């Protein structure tokens, strides 16, 4: 029963979730902030694709670029405008701020665009299927695997080979000491938000392609999934987030296959149950990180 189709579908789901989780954990690693506005970056990217396609008549590739760009810009701006002023205050202040940003962004699109779902046009090849080893697989699923692999490689090169990457890893370990090297705190934090926005933006393309629509509450799903992946994989390392993403994809697809038809719609309940088990028996997640719990001061 483990056929190639299952493997590809699991990898594709896992890839999407890994992207989402990684974007959440990058900011957490530096600021110790669970950014509850993270899902809104996905939502904003969806709207940017919708708006640029509908009002600018932009070709599909341009709409996708604009979508990712919008997520990056909004992520960066939320850091500058909302998080930076409260950064040296308590973690509680940061978390409450992230809720505020989330509610604010949802209401901006609700008022400025519409409370109703809007169609997101994606290139037709997204929904086409190809024959792979006797099974039919949507092109979209192959695409997300490739795009994720490329992004993960690029990101790990950035983290390992560049000074900014080194500084980010150092800052996730010891933030104050990193500043003592002369690395500006703002650069490290802004970079984390830009990368977080980039990952959310790319993930958004594949997230909205499932329903081909976007509405003001589109961000809640990605946020929840990213959060679950991070709890399962481990909050303290980027590897943990990626592992969590693929584990989520695997468990979810196994449940889809093995649960009786009447219970398949309760897959999410099983996933939440799994999270509870993790929190009870392995709160550090699959990959335990060695990071200290230092707060940004």
Partner 1 sequence: MAMLTVENLEASYGAVRALNGISLDVAEGELVALLGINGVGKSTTLKSIMGVLRPTKGTITFQDKDITGRRPESIVKRGISLVPEGRDIFGTLTVEENLRLGAYVGYKRDRYRADLEEMFTLFPILKERLHQAGGLLSGGEQQMLAIARALMGHPRLLMLDEPSLGLSPTMTDQIFELIVGLKERGSTILLVEQNAERALDIVDRAYLLANGEIEHAGTPDEIKRQVNVASVYFGDETDGDSCEVEQ
Where on the phi/psi map is residue 192: left (φ > 0), alpha (ψ -120 to 50), or beta? alpha
Sole binder of partner 1 in the list 121, 173, 217, 270 (CB under 8 A): 173
Spatial separation of the C-alpha atoms in residues 184 and 194, rounded to whole Å: 16
Sole binder of partner 1 in the list 20, 44, 49, 185 (CB under 8 A): 185
Per-residue b or e along 164-183, where b marks 16 or more CB atoms closer than 10 Å to that residue's CB: ebbbbbbbbbebeebbeeeb
Cβ 77 to partner 1 shortest distance, Å: 22
Q: Quick check: 163 binds partner 1 (CB under 8 A)?
A: yes
Q: Quick check: 85 binds partner 1 (CB under 8 A)?
A: no
Task: Check if the beta carbon of residue 37 is closer than 8 Å to that of residue 105.
Answer: yes
Spatial separation of the C-alpha atoms in residues 185 and 72, rounded to whole Å: 19
Q: Quick check: 176 binds partner 1 (CB under 8 A)?
A: yes
Q: Quick check: 155 binds partner 1 (CB under 8 A)?
A: no
Task: Check if the beta carbon of residue 64 is closer than 8 Å to that of residue 205.
Answer: yes
Cβ 178 to partner 1 shortest distance, Å: 7
Cβ 179 to partner 1 shortest distance, Å: 4
Q: Quick check: 239 binds partner 1 (CB under 8 A)?
A: no
Task: Check if the beta carbon of residue 151 is closer than 8 Å to that of residue 200.
Answer: no
Q: Which stretch binds partner 1 (CB under 8 A): 36-44, 170-178, 195-203, 239-247?
A: 170-178
Residues near partner 1, by CB under 8 A: 163, 166-167, 169-170, 172-174, 176-185, 290-291, 297
């Amino acid at each position: 029963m483990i056929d190639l189709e299952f493997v590809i579908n699991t990898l594709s789901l896992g890839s999407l979730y890994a992207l989402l989780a990684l974007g959440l954990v990058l900011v957490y690693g530096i600021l110790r902030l669970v950014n509850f506005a993270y899902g809104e970056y996905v939502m904003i990217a969806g709207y940017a694709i919708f708006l640029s396609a509908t009002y600018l008549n932009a070709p599909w590739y341009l709409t996708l670029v604009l979508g990712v760009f919008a997520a990056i810009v909004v992520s960066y701006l939320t850091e500058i405008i909302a998080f930076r002023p409260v950064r040296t205050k308590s973690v509680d202040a940061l978390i409450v701020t992230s809720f505020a940003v989330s509610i604010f962004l949802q209401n901006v699109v609700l008022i400025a665009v519409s409370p109703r779902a809007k169609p997101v046009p994606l290139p037709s090849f997204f929904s086409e299927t190809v024959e792979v080893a006797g099974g039919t697989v949507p092109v979209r699923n192959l695409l997300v695997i490739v795009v994720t692999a490329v992004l993960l490689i690029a990101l790990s090169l950035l983290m390992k080979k560049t000074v900014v990457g080194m500084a980010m890893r150092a800052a996730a370990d010891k933030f104050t000491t990193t500043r003592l090297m002369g690395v500006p705190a703002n650069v490290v934090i802004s970079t984390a938000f830009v990368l977080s926005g980039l990952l959310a933006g790319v993930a958004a393309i594949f997230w909205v392609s499932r329903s081909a629509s976007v509405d003001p509450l589109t961000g809640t799903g990605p946020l929840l999934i990213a959060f679950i992946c991070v709890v399962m994989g481990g909050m303290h390392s980027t590897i943990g987030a990626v592992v969590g993403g693929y584990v989520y994809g695997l468990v979810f697809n196994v449940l889809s296959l093995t649960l009786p038809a009447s219970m398949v719609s309760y897959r999410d309940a099983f996933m939440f149950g799994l999270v509870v088990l993790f929190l009870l028996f392995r709160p550090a997640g699959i990959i335990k990180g060695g990071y200290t719990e230092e707060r940004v001061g």
